Structure 1
Amino acid sequence: PAIGTTSLGVAVAHGKPDAAAATRAETLALARGMARLPVLVTVDIEGGFGAGPDRIGELAAELVDAGVAGVNIEDGRPDGTLTDPAHQCELITAVRQAAPALFVNARTDTYWLGVADGNPRTETLRRAEAYVAAGADGVFVPSLPDDRATAEAVKHIDAPLNVLYAPDRHTLGRLADLGVARVSCGSLLFRAALHSAVELACAIAADTEPTGQTAGIPTYAEVQGLADLTTASAAADLTAASAAADPTAASAAAESSAPTRPPTPPGR
């Protein structure tokens, strides 16, 4: 399992449109913070934020230096069309060459945008083959319409297949049976959290009982504890680096970087 960013969440949180090449700096800043977590982190870089091969290579290098494990790069464009596959292959190759350790998940929006000249199956397989040849480690095909299309994609794409989870249609067990290697939630978790926040706010404003909407909400201290975990992970990384450079300094490094926050008051 890995934690992945969602371009919609990053964009909306900063008051910007999604898939418009407008959040390169915000995405990179978020990635640097998340990479301190003790889990694999993969980053949605849209279509490369409008960058050419040189600039997207620089971004890939920055992400891998930050500790990111993988990226998702898509061929859908802001105007609802698909990028020329030859250009997309150049971007994928640039990412692969600049950051060989990065897992490159190549997304094709043939089904998602519905603009593949009426034959998304053929265009999907054509693009997938080209993207894998260009250096992609996996292929992401959101909005595959049914089990048959999913099974065909698994059979004919020479790379692990990633699909977008649809809560009204998918189960992880069934997707595994079909041969799907990776399942993404996309913006689902962000949208679900947004919905819950608005529902609760509306219930409070209407002075009605927020039945079921507060069950299981973590306490302030529990959420603050998540930040402590991140800090502890960063401290461990610093200690390891110090030990490699100077074993006698490892203990001091651990002590100086350990969190010293006082107990959190309840209820905040």
Structure 2
Amino acid sequence: MTSTQQRQAEEFHRLHDDLLILPNAWDPPSARMVEAAGAAAVATTSAGVAWSRGVADGGGLDRATALDAAARVIGAVTIPVTVDLEGGYPGEPGGVETAVEQVIEAGAVGINLEDSAGGALLPLAAQAETLRRVRKLVDSTPVRLFVNARIDTFLLAPAGSTGPDLVAATIERARTFVKAGADGVFVPGVTDPALVRDLVAGVPAPLNLMVGRGAPPLARYAELGVRRISAGPTLTLSAYRQVRDWAGAMLAGSLEDVPEGMEPGPLQAGPVR
């Protein structure tokens, strides 16, 4: 833990005073591209990390692999990094607390923790207890780690669920998680401005949304009170689609319509930390 990390952690909290836009990276080169684009901070995507390591998202990563990827991203950029820890790898020795300790040691200033596993929401009380333990751990360190509690009510909504039902369920979990120590709340799967407005009104912490192609202008979300926007695995999928399209074009014998690649200079840079 360095003074730079402590300073970046404080700055990362302050960035939530306005709209923080967080493109997601999965390896050092992608993180460098996010920094080069002008981002104030970078977030990792566990899906992108998993796919880049040849395993499936949602359980394919082990803690050591995830933290190795996080450390490599953190070491590649000069801006703050928040790390997607999935559920915190609770089944591994030391549980969630060990994952949090190790990601702080790696230099992170924030984490995401999911409230679902195996396609189902975790019991509210159990997840709140996890967040209380994480909060206690974080408060014992010099780094003011930003704990972002992900809520998967919209992602896992059963058929027939209505927007108001999901908003109410999400707000209940959000208030419980914030009381337990979360600094922010991440609700992927919702982009409708009317529902977002209700969430902002009911969630007593900075609200994080996940957006993709076709989303309303991000300034609209800022007007509604959203404080953080990320893209999840979208950048990873876009990059890999380009690989597939290029390969297909080569095999078809024509490269007339493929997109032009970037110059390799930025990718040649060595570690910055």
TM over 0.5: yes
Is 1:54–1:94's contact at 8 Å kept on the other side of the alignment? Answer: no
8 Å CA contact retained: 1:161, 1:181: yes
Aligned-partner Cα distance in 1 for 2:158–2:171: 15
**AA at the equivalent of 1:112:** L
> Are 1:66 and 2:66 counterparts?
no
- CA change 1:53–1:98 in 2 (3 A) is farther
Q: How do residues 46-85 of structure 1 correspond to structure 2 at under 5 angstroms?
A: 46-51=86-91, 54-78=94-118, 80-85=119-124
Structure 1 match to 2:27: none
In the alignment, is the contact (CA less than 8 A) between 1:72 and 1:106 conserved in 2?
Answer: yes
Q: 1:106 aligns to what SS in structure 2?
A: strand
How do residues 213-228 of structure 1 correspond to structure 2 at under 5 angstroms?
Answer: 213-214=259-260, 217-224=261-268, 227-228=269-270
Q: Which residue of 2 aligns with 1:241?
A: none
Q: Relative contact order (alpha carbons < 8 A, sep ≥ 6): 1 or 2 greater?
A: 2
Structure 1 residues 75, 210: closer, same or farther in 2, change over 3 A? Answer: farther
SS at match of 1:219: coil
Q: Which residue among 223, 244, 253 is the counterpart of 1:177? A: 223
Q: Which amino acid aligns with 1:44?
A: D
Is the 2:41–2:80 contact (alpha carbons within 8 Å) kept by the matching residues of 1? yes
Distance in 2 (CA, whole Å) between partners of 1:52 and 1:92 is: 17
Counterpart position of 1:103: 146
Asked whether 1:43 is paired with 2:83, we answer yes
Partner of residue 176, structure 2: 130
Stretches of structure 2 that go unaligned for 5 or more consecutive residues are: 1-39
Cα RMSD (Å) of the superposition?
Answer: 2.0
Instruction: Give the distance between the partners of 1:210 and 1:14, measured in 2 at CA.
Output: 31
User: Is 2:132 the partner of 1:93?
Assistant: yes
How far residue 166 of structure 1 moved from its aligned partner, in angstroms, is 2.7
Q: Secondary structure at the match of 1:112?
A: coil
| TM-score, length of structure 2 as denominator length | 0.78
Q: How far does residue 146 in structure 1 lie from its aligned partner after superposition?
A: 1.2
- Compute the displacement of 1:85 (Å): 1.0
| Residues 87-96 or 146-155, more deviating | 87-96
Q: Which residue identity lines up with residue 140 of structure 1 in the other structure?
A: F
- Provide closer, same or farther for how the CA distance between residues 116 and 63 of structure 1 changes in structure 2, counting only shifts above 3 A: farther
Deviation, 1:13, is 1.8
Please tell me whether the aligned partners of residues 150 and 186 of structure 2 are also in contact (alpha carbons under 8 angstroms). yes
What is the SS of the residue equivalent to 2:223? helix
Displacement of 1:54 in angstroms is 5.0
Task: Return the letter of the residue paired with 1:139.
Answer: V
Q: Give the aligned partner of residue 246 of structure 1.
A: none
Aligned-residue identity in percent: 35
Cα distance, 1:154 vs. partner?
Answer: 0.6
Q: Which has the larger radius of gyration?
A: 1
Secondary structure class of the residue paired with 2:116 = coil
Separation (CA, whole Å) in 1 of partners of 2:92 and 2:123: 13
For residue 33 of structure 1, the aligned residue among 72, 77, 87 is 72
Closer, same or farther: CA 203–117 of 1 in aligned 2, 3 Å: closer
Q: Is the 8 A contact 1:21 1:47 kept in 2?
A: no
In the alignment, residue 224 of structure 2 is paired with which amino acid? L
Q: CA deviation at 1:212?
A: 4.6
The TM-score, its normalising length taken from structure 1, stands at 0.79
Letter of the 2:265 counterpart: A
Q: How many residues align?
A: 226
Instruction: After TM superposition, give the deviation of residue 145 of structure 1 in Å.
Output: 4.8
The answer to whether the Cα contact below 8 Å between 1:154 and 1:161 also exists between their aligned partners in 2 is yes
Q: Which region of structure 1 is more displaced relative to structure 2, 50-59 or 17-26?
A: 50-59
- AA aligned to 2:103 is L
Unaligned runs of 5+ in 1: 235-268
Q: Cα–Cα, structure 1 residues 136 and 21, in superposed 2: closer, same or farther, change >3 Å?
A: farther
SS at match of 1:110: coil
Q: Is the 8 A contact 1:96 1:102 kept in 2?
A: no
